[in-house]
Structure 1
Amino acid sequence: MTLAVFDVDGVLADVAHRRHHLTGARRSWDAFFAAAGDDPPLGVGVALALRAHSAGHDVVYLSGRPERLRRDTERWLSRHGLPYGDVLLRPDADYSPAARLKLAGLRRLTRRDDIGLFVDDDAWVVDVVRAAHPPLVTGRVVLADWQPGGPRVRRSLHQAQERFGRT
């Protein structure tokens, strides 16, 4: 089976309403993650996941969200009609950069199946995946650029992912 691997935040889930928790000197990771259940879905990402599933791909969710959010993440995916699939999350005490985390996750996945599609909103993650040798993705690698708030929101998420190892 071929896999379609999707990030969650900024790809399927609109995080714009909780971005303010990551800006300024008083970041509140607890508040940022507590509000994740209220994320509206991003229609473009959801449609892409549904199309991939309809085309016969097994869908996998590879997110930098901490493991303690597993139940909330699985409920959110189900509530918004996303295909059932494995959910791979960051271990709670792991603060490694998102690119390292995602590469490790993709390498584990390639041991069992080919990855035909990978979608992430972090340009650095996408660049690292595209540059991986041997290639980790046999099909398309997509930079998700449909998060409302565009570069401003992506910049906040990138900082959270790469500098603080949090999402």
Structure 2
Amino acid sequence: MSGVEETMAEAGRVDWSHFSLADFLELRWRLLHDWQAVLPGGEYFGQARIGDVCYDIQIEWLADDELAVTMSPFFPHDEASDELPYDELVPGMPYDTQHGASLISSRRSFLQLTYESFIDLAERSILETVARFPRLRSAASKQTGFWDRHDAILCKIREQDDEDM
């Protein structure tokens, strides 16, 4: 069994419910018609999940002034790890990322894809990448609901901030 097959057996399939056809079409429209106005820090369009690994899908300007669709993995911080957590947007829920595990498509190559071909290519790439990194593989094999709880708390924080304004 290959690393990809083992990862799929351990963690199941990639969940695309947070990046629908409508999200894909919005991203595609932006890349076709308004790409020069993309914010310097990038813009978020959705995510793909496998176990407790969450790949954020966004468009951003890379260092060489190339606009690309990037997919970067995030996963719950392992408290036993010697490494400090990457960030903590939600109190008490720190998370990590894995250097070298992001997936990048140029604007031009992304625009050649249909939703189905993007999903197929991205899913294969995600599984191959997860299989290469032990921390990602470990997080992908767990399904603790971390990101659903994280998102619910973050949503409440943002609603409270809006009410306070």
Length-normalised TM-score, structure 2:
0.30
Kindly indicate whether structure 1 or structure 2 has the higher relative contact order, using CA contacts under 8 Å at least 6 residues apart: 1
**Greater Cα radius of gyration, structure 1 or 2:** 2
